[in-house]
Amino acid sequence: MLLSAKILLQNITRTTKYFQCHFSNRMMRDPRFFTLYQHAKARLLDDQRKSGVLSHKMEVNRVRLHFEMTGDGDHNVILMPGALGSTRTDFNQQLTHFNKEDFTLIAIDPRGYGQSRPPDRDWPLEFLQRDAEDAMELVRKLNLTKVSLVGWSDGGISAMVAAARYPNIVDKLVIWGANAYITKKDMEFFESIRDLDNWSERMRVPFLAMYGEKYFRTQWSNWVDAYENYCTKRNGDVCMGDLEKIKAQTLIIHGLKDALVPLEHPDYLHHNIKGSRLYIMPEGKHNLHQKYYREFNFLVEHFLKK
């Protein structure tokens, strides 16, 4: 029985690689694949279940949402990426190096991002609130009754919204590079990075590889406009009213060298999310979980285990 299950999983892995190479736009759209994989995985030894990463798509709120799963732990952790981010552009160091014995990681491409296309991304006023609802609908469809949310930047905002709206499901919350409001100074900085020609080559390359230049230039400019709408139509309020509703134990991480999100934002979150903890990384920038992934992973694992 063990041998047959192992052969089945190997066949699925080969099929996955084939689809990734030749049919990336149609990858893993059959819901039966997810069930088949889970059945095979359940019959393998512990150390054989922890290394693979499952890529899949599932119907969520009328879109095909792409996500990746890895790990074999009882603690389910949802990874929520930043602006135009995806599972692999944002969370490769977590999908690869995080503790997979105690945790199962589920990284999401929000609609219009990564491989959750089509459709192309659109930008309603409360686009971050919509991302929160999409994530929690995926949680429901996966039949998960308790999860922890780990969100970066925009993903951190959506994670806060989800934690506020679903306190009985969200057990713990980890956020960094996130904010509950937007100031005029923030918008001035966003405007300064609207033009991709002002970005470093290192920052541009992963997004251009994922989207191509035309889509990324257009959608990044749309992202800046979407935040301008929070300023003009919501008086800068992104999710301020949600903070007092968060019941989950919360860890806020901040890099002191984060040029995108100044210290006033994590300070505000810390003072308005009851019982939250604030951890400062002196050398950390906006992408602290990538450059300092060992410290970040250890810190998050320890918090989630407590």
Enzyme catalytic residues: 153, 258, 286
Query: 67, 209, 217, 87: which is closest to 144 by C-alpha?
Result: 67
HEC string for 219-279: HHHHHHHHHHHHHHHHCCECCHHHHHHCCCEEEEEEECCCCCCCCHHHHHHHHHCCCCEEE
Q: Measured in whole angstroms, how far is the alpha carbon of residue 280 from the centre of its chain?
A: 21
End-to-end CA distance of the chain: 37
Residue pair 260/153 in contact by the 8 Å Cβ criterion: yes
Residue pair 193/199 in contact by the 8 Å Cβ criterion: yes
